[in-house]
Structure 1
């Protein structure tokens, strides 16, 4: 583990004052190793309002100005997906560490460009794939790594919901701003399945629907099949199309040579089925965003990353392949996606 000299409390700048910024701000303020150094938003009024509700921290609509504040050591970016490349490049040039909301970028080339920029700057770049840090994600990964199911060969994961972001005009429903549903939300399940399997994905076949309304500019319902070198397969479902609006469901199943892990949303623990009988994988009630932030601080200090940059680039590649597969109506080989 490479040890780095870091401040006792890392000054953390937030960029973007939308709804997810409150969640990240809570993680910053809950940490004994960091403090909120300020907020940047292109809307001065929104930046000022966020500042008032978070202890009157410094605020501005000028990113370059904020990056020059002496108290800023690291940055958390909570802006629309299509802005990630420009903002991330500015953060790297300023020599700050970065935690950026997923996806890392909306194209493979942009994602790799950010990875290269931070490698050259010698600073930590982490994509905020928070589901790796939620209790269920970590619990399933630990069970697989412990050998509880033998060699994993199949993942079935569905995350279903019934809400359409913040409205019909939300940037997440704009295919240019978001990159499409696969990049904005589908990337969660694509990354989780690949992480659980420790797999090398080779091919993606997907379909999508405008389920809520034909007027939607993105597919709010996705079905995705990912094939891996060695024969493992993941069958994934991501939806924001289910009704009523309060609906929420998560189902997962991991099948291996020695057992099965199965979980539904309501379960605090996952079931483990083996020839020796049925048991429970212990619950892991974890604040995913808080755990993610602390893990990022660990990485800034020199610990191995829980979300390696290469994994974040690969998640973008998978999501881009999903979008291309839907348009083409055929499987897309990894490496062939744009």
Structure 2
């Protein structure tokens, strides 16, 4: 029996609406968060889970009420009811897994980064364009309350043209132990691609301009035995002269205290967000006001945006997370890692 596929735009109106059947690829800790988002959205249905570790797939399937499970990705993509996939596997697998999803003709939401090299990211962009399927990278901070509130304020023109972003996300060690794949630069691509990419993408999204160069440095705060830098300082310059200063840490103490600091300065005002709230303080010549958070769960908002893109495929509706932006985020992360290694500014790959 052939799997269902999402109805094309010209027939969707004449057919009863049904949920998009989602295959979960990878049963690690982040998979549960995606499952919660699926369960909360009537437009999506979790069909099954596939993981290279069959035992882990089976355990996860039981936790989700006994859904179908397996360890063969190609076979799982042919299961009846699979229209799309959400990929939660290590970063170095994204290129191969994404290519398999594209070949199967399924839509894809993939955990960031899109890939660990610019060439692989561009290859996935091409494959999904050729297949006519939606490719969405999970840059979830775009869907978080604070990220959306800043973007809406900037797009409204309230602070004029943005010229400076200062963004810091600081916290302690979050992984189970040092053997975790995220601490292996060969598997994660380095901390700039695994965690720093959130800040690089967000600042670039807010500024609305093309990055030109990156200057970065990294430190090993938790222990010198780490193979990645768990503290990053990243400075990005943009084509129109704007600057983004991004600070990312997983080596802060105490580890239980997280801190986020946001400052966006424009030609007509500035927006601050304190670490202890989602609201921002807007300062312009007209005075000072509060900017409320956009509201909503980030993963739920992200899933909804992906489903919107699937529904709007072929209708000329721009997606909330363009593939070109995901490719650019990879280019920024790669440039950061290169700058740390060389100690010099690095041009961002076009």
TM-score by length of 1: 0.97
Aligned to 1:253: 263
Q: In structure 2, the residue corresponding to 1:279 is in which secondary structure?
A: strand
1:30 is displaced (CA, Å) by 0.9
Partner in structure 2 of residue 117 of structure 1: 127
1:18 equivalent in structure 2: 28
Equivalent of 2:90 in 80, 86, 93: 80
For 2:301 and 2:181, the matched residues in 1 are separated by 27
Q: CA deviation at 1:214?
A: 0.2
**Correspondence for 1:238:** 248
Counterpart in the other structure of 2:107: 97
Matched residue, 2:310: 300
SS in structure 2 at match of 1:48 = helix
* Normalised TM-score (structure 2): 0.94
Residues 1:318 and 2:332 are matched in the alignment:
yes
Cα deviation, residue 243, structure 1:
1.0
Residue equivalent to 2:342 = 328
Are residues 131 and 295 of structure 1, via their aligned partners in 2, closer, same or farther at CA, if it must alter by over 3 Å?
Answer: same
Decide which moves more: 182-191 or 281-290: 281-290
* Deviation readout 1:290-323 (Å, 9 max, x if unpaired): 0000100000011421010000000000000000
> Residue by residue, what CA displacement relative to the aligned partner does 1:236-274 show, whole Å, maximum 9, x if unpaired?
001100011202000000000110100012123100011
Q: Secondary structure at the match of 1:213?
A: coil
C-alpha displacement at 1:34, in angstroms?
0.9
Pick one of 104, 108, 118 that aligns with 1:108. Answer: 118
1:172 corresponds to: 182
Within-5 A mapping of 1:42-81: 42-81=52-91
Displacement of 1:166: 2.0
CA–CA distance in 2 between the matches of 1:127 and 1:4? 27
Bigger shift: 253-262 or 2-11? 2-11
| Aligned partner of residue 86 in structure 2, secondary structure | strand
- 1:3, distance to aligned residue in structure 2 (A): 4.2
Residues 16-65 of structure 1: per-residue CA shift (max 9 Å, x gap): 00000000011111111011000001111110110111010000011111
Contact 1:172 1:184 in 2 (8 A): yes
Do the aligned partners of 2:148 and 2:293 also contact (CA within 8 Å) in 1?
A: no
CA contact (8 A) 1:5 1:301 kept: no
Residue number in structure 1 paired with 2:3? none
Alignment RMSD (CA, Å): 1.2
Match of 1:41 among 51, 60, 69: 51
The answer to whether the 8 Å contact 1:259/1:274 transfers is: yes
Q: Secondary structure at the match of 1:323?
A: helix
How far has the Cα of 1:4 moved from its partner? Answer: 6.7
Gaps of 5+ in 1: none
User: Is 1:221 equivalent to 2:221 in the alignment?
Assistant: no
**Mapped contact 1:252–1:263 kept (Cα < 8 A):** yes
User: How many Å separate the matches in 1 of 2:178 and 2:290?
Assistant: 41
- Whole-Å Cα distance in 1 between the matches of residues 85 and 71 of structure 2? 15
- Aligned equivalents of 2:57 and 2:324: distance in 1? 33
Name the counterpart of 1:271: 281
